[in-house]
Amino acid sequence: MDALLGPPESSWEGADRSDADLRWARGGREARDRRDQLLPALHALNDRVGWISEGALDYVCRRLTVPPAEAYGVATFYAMFSVRPRPATVLHVCTDLACTAAGASRLCAAVESRLGPESGVKLERSPCLGLCERAPATLVIRAGESARPAQEDTPARPAFEDEAVQAEGGSGGAAPGDGGGTSRSSEAESGGGKGRRGRNTLHATAICAPATPDRAIAAATAPESAPTEPAPEAAVPQAGDPTLTLLHRIGTTDPTSLDDYRAHGGYTALRRAFALGPAAVIREVTDAGLVGRGGAAFPTGRKWQATAAQPDHPHYLVCNADESEPGTFKDRVLMEGDPYALVEAMTIAAYATGAHRGYLYLRGEYPRALARLTHAIEQARTRGLLGDDVLGQGYAFDIEIRRGAGAYICGEETALFNSIEGRRGEPRSKPPFPVEKGLFGKPTVENNVETLVNVLPILTMGAEAYAAIGTPTSTGPKLFCVSGTVARPGVYELPFGATLGELLALAGVRDNLRAVLLGGAAGGFVRPDELDIPLTFEGTREAGTTLGSGVVMAFDDTVPLPRLLLRIAEFFRDESCGQCVPCRVGTVRQEEALHRIADRTGAAAADDIALLREVGRAMRDASICGLGQTAWNAVESAIDRLGAYE
């Protein structure tokens, strides 16, 4: 804790008591301003010990003057934390949709039968790990002072190995918080602790995917023999295609080299942004027709303009890299394979909206993305591409990485803000909207990784040329995450307007196709005879389904559909934050009904199907955020379009 927060200044914060401390209380106001360091502090504890003890949580509360009940509520909110003793090594086995179809339940049973208490390994069934193209997937997280670095496919050590922050790992350091994140700096702009850069610990990890019992156990018990994680381009079947717009550097550019990135067109877009000015950049993005790629499809230019026009300062930029939708892994591939593109795109977005501080909220299950982005940010800062004078233009901007800890709901923008601020990741009621009062109560623009990376080709090729890609109402290229029972799963780039059949032909769909899930767990199923659906937001809407974030999961007739629907219901029940009654109760009732009819059809299931419809309507109409509003979508589409229980 002291490595992360600095030494305590008085006994009120945990230092040895002195006579001066008996006469006045010091540090309370300053500590309260550092409430946003609560999540990094919990990560530091969890990374070092493997769980968060009562004494450790109490010390954090004293350092940050957070009420213990509130800190306990935050610590128990996230799936990656534990407030009960557990082994230092945890083997997370993904049991979500793609992995379920690939035999995750059999994998769990086989591993459990061979891993006894003496192994020192705890197996935990996990929601989607973002490794759907390599299902079934496992992730090993190993706590401790002598933690090993995340496995990399590149043998060379980074050039900045001797710096305070080592992006590719290191020994784990002698104190919590060392090795793997941005170093603590002086306060920036205003707002006390709100301007500080917290440290990010790169905990020891090993990814095993696709996993077998032998490989998973080796990764958990014998890390030196664990399989090496493939390079990011392995997830891009189109890698090397020069006609690609967003993925053209994947597999052709060294993701750890800033020089290689610049040699392949990097920072051309930022230089043009400075030449145009903030207002003209926003006009280019607006004219290009760019809309959000996270599923809501809100016009990006309008969001930027609304934020830039706010008189209240400071403005903040938040990159939502917490893609937790089952079946989604495109942002991981971009961050691992082209991290400098995201750093450049965030700088452009901040410049256009008048922000000088950016937060990159990254999934806690993405260790290599953390390593690559930490390295990229440090190198950009060293080379004058971040900091007080970006490219000598007199513009100040810097980025801080904040690690998530396993909460699907934090993909909702206001829940993400609460998480950064050190609170439970619960959505806020709107209005006010984030462009007015977002992070720390200030105007905030929030975009996901794919949306931001699209800004680069808009500025390099021009708004008119970009808008010519795709359709008049859905412009530009789109990334699709294809997984399930296909021959070539991975991330595909296609222009908006391509059909579902064309995408599945690229991925090698099988003849015995049973159903396709569009949009992930929050999306809907379509039949094999509906593959002519155009992949646009309006095209899927007209077809009675949703495009969402670009998830396409194919299932053949060997996958038991009722069990798949039950897993979707379990996912939403687990991930509901519990803030509103329709979602908190409705997701439980939905799961209970699906349990009852898992092996029944026809008239025997009619009453429960009627109940499901009633509960689903209540969740859709009355839930605060999109989680509850979409929790019934996939089940409804399976019943109505696929006849799941007929």
- Least confident piece of the model among 141-145, 235-239, 611-615: 141-145
Average pLDDT over residues 348-355: 98
pLDDT of residue 174: 31
* Burial environment of residue 242 by CB neighbours within 10 A (0 to 12, 13 to 18, 19 or more): exposed
Instruction: With both helix axes pointing from N to C terminus, report the angle between 581-596 and 606-622 in degrees, rounded to the nearest 10.
Output: 160
Q: Is 637 helix (H, G, I), strand (E, B) or coil?
A: helix
pLDDT of residue 19: 62
pLDDT of residue 489: 96
Assess whether pLDDT exceeds 80 at residue 30. Answer: no
Average pLDDT over residues 489-518: 94
Average pLDDT over residues 297-313: 96
Task: Please tell me the CATH superfamily of domain 235-467, with its number.
Answer: NADH-ubiquinone oxidoreductase 51kDa subunit (3.40.50.11540)
Cα(560)–Cα(101) distance, rounded to whole angstroms?
Answer: 8
Mean pLDDT of the chain: 87
Average pLDDT over residues 96-116: 92
Query: Is the pLDDT higher at 140 or at 646?
Result: 140
What percent of the chain lies above the pLDDT cut of 70? 87
- Give the pLDDT band of residue 144 (cuts 50, 70, 90): confident
- Alpha carbon distances (Å) from 24 to 11, 12, 269: 11, 10, 54
Helices and strands, number each (H, E), in the chain:
26, 13
Q: Is 599 helix (H, G, I), strand (E, B) or coil?
A: coil
CATH number of 561-641: 1.20.1440.230
* Amino acid of residue 349: A
pLDDT of residue 646: 78
This prediction's pTM: 0.89
Assess whether pLDDT exceeds 60 at residue 153. Answer: no
Assess whether pLDDT exceeds 80 at residue 416. Answer: yes
CATH number of 477-556: 3.10.20.600
Please enumerate in sequence order all residues whose Cβ is within 8 A of that of 149, keeping only pairs 6 or more positions apart, or say none: 168, 169, 170, 202, 204, 371
pLDDT in tens, 255-284: 999 999 999 999 999 999 999 999 999 999
Q: Judge contact between 399 and 409, C-beta under 8 A.
A: no
Assess whether pLDDT exceeds 60 at residue 294. Answer: yes
Average pLDDT over residues 492-506: 96
Instruction: Give the strand order in the sheet containing 138-142.
Output: 121-126, 89-94, 138-142, 204-208
pLDDT of residue 21: 62
pLDDT of residue 4: 84
- Give the pLDDT band of residue 160 (cuts 50, 70, 90): very low
pLDDT in tens, 548-600: 999 999 999 888 899 999 999 999 999 999 999 999 999 999 999 999 998 77
Cα(214)–Cα(121) distance, rounded to whole angstroms?
Answer: 14
Average pLDDT over residues 497-516: 93
Query: Is the pLDDT higher at 146 or at 431?
Result: 431
pLDDT of residue 29: 66
CA 482 to chain centre: 18
Assess whether pLDDT exceeds 90 at residue 166. Answer: no
Assess whether pLDDT exceeds 70 at residue 537. Answer: yes
- Alpha carbon distances (Å) from 119 to 149, 215, 285, 427: 21, 15, 54, 40
The tokens of 271 are what? Answer: 């230089």
User: Which secondary-structure segment (H or E) carries 307?
Assistant: helix 300-308
Q: Which of 610, 425, 406, 427 is nearest to 590 (CA)?
A: 610
Assess whether pLDDT exceeds 70 at residue 385. Answer: yes
Please give the full DSSP string across 418-459, using - where no structure is assigned: HHHTTS---PPPSSSPTTTS-GGGS-EEEEEHHHHHTHHHHH
Average pLDDT over residues 117-129: 90
pLDDT in tens, 210-238: 999 999 999 998 766 666 778 888 999 99
pLDDT of residue 644: 87
pLDDT in tens, 419-432: 999 999 999 999 99
User: Which secondary-structure segment (H or E) carries 554?
Assistant: strand 551-556
Q: Judge contact between 402 and 360, C-beta under 8 A.
A: yes
- Give the pLDDT band of residue 531 (cuts 50, 70, 90): very high
pLDDT of residue 1: 77
* Amino acid of residue 372: R
CA 282 to chain centre: 26
- Least confident piece of the model among 30-39, 45-54, 502-511: 30-39
Dihedral of alpha carbons 244, 250, 254, 259, sign: positive
Average pLDDT over residues 28-56: 89
Residue matched to tokens 């016009």: 299
Maximum CA pair distance of the chain? 80
- Give the pLDDT band of residue 541 (cuts 50, 70, 90): very high
- Give the pLDDT band of residue 6 (cuts 50, 70, 90): confident
Q: Which of 156, 154, 151, 157 is nearest to 218 (CA)?
A: 151
Assess whether pLDDT exceeds 80 at residue 604. Answer: no
- Give the pLDDT band of residue 188 (cuts 50, 70, 90): very low
Cα(155)–Cα(151) distance, rounded to whole angstroms?
Answer: 10
- Give the pLDDT band of residue 22 (cuts 50, 70, 90): low
pLDDT in tens, 174-183: 333 333 333 3
Assess whether pLDDT exceeds 60 at residue 53. Answer: yes
Q: Judge contact between 584 and 627, C-beta under 8 A.
A: no
pLDDT of residue 568: 95
Secondary structure (H, E, C), 308-368: HCCCCCCEEEEEEECCCCCCCCHHHHHHHHCHHHHHHHHHHHHHHHCEEEEEEEECCCCHH
- Give the pLDDT band of residue 145 (cuts 50, 70, 90): confident
Average pLDDT over residues 381-409: 96
pLDDT in tens, 355-372: 999 999 999 999 999 999
Domain ranges of the chain: 2-75, 89-225, 235-467, 477-556, 561-641
Please enumerate in sequence order all residues whose Cβ is within 8 A of that of 122, keeping only pairs 6 or more positions apart, or say none: 86, 87, 89, 90, 91
Q: Which of 39, 64, 9 is nearest to 181 (CA)?
A: 39
Average pLDDT over residues 135-159: 60
Please enumerate in sequence order all residues whose Cβ is within 8 A of that of 624, keeping only pairs 6 or more positions apart, or say none: 427, 429, 579, 580, 583
